[in-house]
Structure 1
Amino acid sequence: MNQHDLLNVRHASLNEAKTAMTNMLEKRPSNYSLDAQLYNDPHMFRIDMEEVFQKEWLFVGMTSEIPKKGDYITVEIGQNPVLILRDGEGNVNAFHNTCRHRGSILCTEHRGKVANLVCPYHQWTYDLKGNLLFAGTEMNKDFDMKQHGLKSAFCKTGGGFIFVCLGETEPTDEFDDFLVTLDEYMEPYDVENTKLAVESTMYERANWKLVLENNRECYHCSGSHPELLHTLLEWDDTEDPRATQDFLEHYAQQSNQWDAEGIPHKLKSFGEVQRNRIVRMPLKKSTKVMTIDGTAASTKMLGRIKNPELGSMRILHLPNSWNHMQSDHFIAFRVLPVSAQETIVTTKWFVHKDAVEGIDYETDTLRKVWDATNEQDKVLGERNQLGINSIGYQPGPYSETYEFGVINFLDWYSSTVQKNLNTK
């Protein structure tokens, strides 16, 4: 079989996979887990990457990670290396991290600072806006430098969060409304005056959807997360059907204090199936933040915050991020698929920019709860994947009381994939 025939076979196989995926998603009961192929098949995974991770808004990092001109971070979205950097006017821009000469990676480090972007292969040089400045003297006289700037990606910020979209067109949805609300709800934290204290990267042998499903319910928490439950209350919001009267009274007392300080807290959701949601929830009584004993993690509170019992403001962004904003630090989580059964989960802890490690905070105290929780979730996700790979697996029912967040996620996933497949 020659290369042309092989490409035709691969193209046919992908089209067959798209047809099969559409049929599975159209026929699935919304309160049941997905067919096994949607969790473990490489063809289905490729469609996930093309129709979700290459077309939808993705969380990549926080603006305080690149506070000054020339600061950058890099991220791998499947096989697409992306560069996010701050230009001379303070704007945050995103580019495909590939040289316009012969495609070499430009920035090879996870984060850094540059005056200009210089390709390490042949020294083609770009400014911080992606314009080509130097291509050597070897190019012919007709070579047009203006036509060979870096390829940009859509990039937006809100409340200190950075989002990129790799699609050819910008998604038209409620995303801008979400960004406006992020600005409002994140204002007390003054993200620009925070800094990254520590981060972890965890490799999980599970499909990315299983990672998200696990996050979207706390049905498993009592049996798996003793460290987390020292401080966390399991309810999703005040409308949670499991919420007790004691919890509602605790919320009312805390929210009165938040109102007095001008701290936003009411549930805001965007999209028919809550693709994006923000809500502030109290932690357990007499606890301040998500540490093992519930005491402060840093002596310096964030932004204009004065009340140490600010609970946790939970921010969800599908398909790849959840977050916990607290009085003295916040935690940002990012999920990026690697293959049909591999996922990278990155966790970042941020503190006030003037906080000094060893004096104002200890990294072990910051990360102990979520290091333990992430490892426990990794075990759960990998066991889940192994079970789904079995020929004995068939989709099972979700609890509409305890797992409504999972149902919402898969409703969003299903409608998004079908919409994007049908708009070609």
Structure 2
Amino acid sequence: MWSRLVRPAVIGTSVWRSLFTMQLKTNEFQSLFTDGLNGLSEVFEKHQHELRIAGGAVRDLLCGKRPEDVDFATTATPEDMKRMFQAAGIRMINNKGEKHGTITARLHNENFEVTTLRVDVQTDGRHAEVEFTTDWQKDAERRDLTINSMFLGLDGTLYDYFKGYEDLQNHKVRFVGSAEQRIQEDYLRILRYFRFYGRVALKPDEHEPETLAAIRENGRGLAAISGERIWVELKKMVCGNHAAHLLELIYDLDLAQYIGLPPGGDVDQMKRVWQNARAHAPKPMTVLAALFHSPEDVEKMDLRLKVSREEKTLALFLVRHRRGLCRSRNEPDSIKPFTDFIIDSREPDSQSKVCELLKYQGEEKLLSEVQRWSVPRFPVSGHDLRKLGVTSGKEIGATLQTLRDIWKKSRYQMDKDELLSHVKP
């Protein structure tokens, strides 16, 4: 399956010491070779341009996973690719990325994003001006983490310039070269570091001290990053391993103020909620809600991060009801308060919100019951009342509410005829 070779590759003042290569021949790798990829490979081979798999897909393949998305890198310029694809009759789509070197080709109903090798000419902490190159090492050098800086040839040859494979095997997350330099090129890399730490590291607190020092010194740069970009990374981090530790670290490193999290967030409560919910796939906002002291904290978070309406309403619901929806003293294990809330709210996502609340509270038994519970349909309509001679709109509304209350007391068991028997003609 594997063959290994270490080739010296010290070039000028570059930061790498060696090029590590080996051969990958796994089922996951072989499964990528569809008619579309074979056709793409033939085009690049015909025009004598190299084409390799890049970035996260290489990392996933080395971990034995078939990647969901595969990005490609090439020595061909965007103009080269356009000429090649046009000559081969290959359709190109969504070429908004062309100025950054990316061309998207469509073959056999598959889209393939191919990006020219690049070097950063100038960066401002958010965006980079780039120029194209044919130097694979230079392109790898501009990437964020060693585990994301590898390439994989279509013949299965791994090209690793910064010990990314070794770090992956040892469950280490390190920046390429200088952590401070990589962070200052794009401050969002701070959150990307945390996200990948949650994916790769086995233990919660094995960070290199110099990495944390660089993050602390440059954390204020996150203030200039758009909320949307921050929220994408933060959500993925909270869904990964070690989420409670990483959120606590965000506070320890004084980063919370720059990314929409409340100052003085309730970290202890967040850790309890994470422990309660982690086995039940909580939504990111379920864990983050534990940090908020009030609905005002949620509003401030939304102003910074521009979360979706669904995410915001879930956070507000959890903050308002985390100590509410109490169970009856006579029926401490009853799901009735929760099912009553779901019925009364009449919102399509109310059952989902209640489930997140039960995850937050660590109520596993009640969570299981509510997840299995099917929301019953109220069997009476205004049309049924009109048939009985109730014609006033105001009276119909009042009567329906009365019947709903009766239906609720019956634990939603009464059928239409039983409920209509309570209507006085």
What TM-score does the superposition give when structure 2 sets the normalisation length? 0.23
Between structure 1 and structure 2, the one with the greater Rg is 2
Structure of higher RCO (CA pairs closer than 8 Å, 6+ residues apart): 1
Considering fraction of residues, name the structure with more helix.
2
What TM-score does the superposition give when structure 1 sets the normalisation length? 0.23
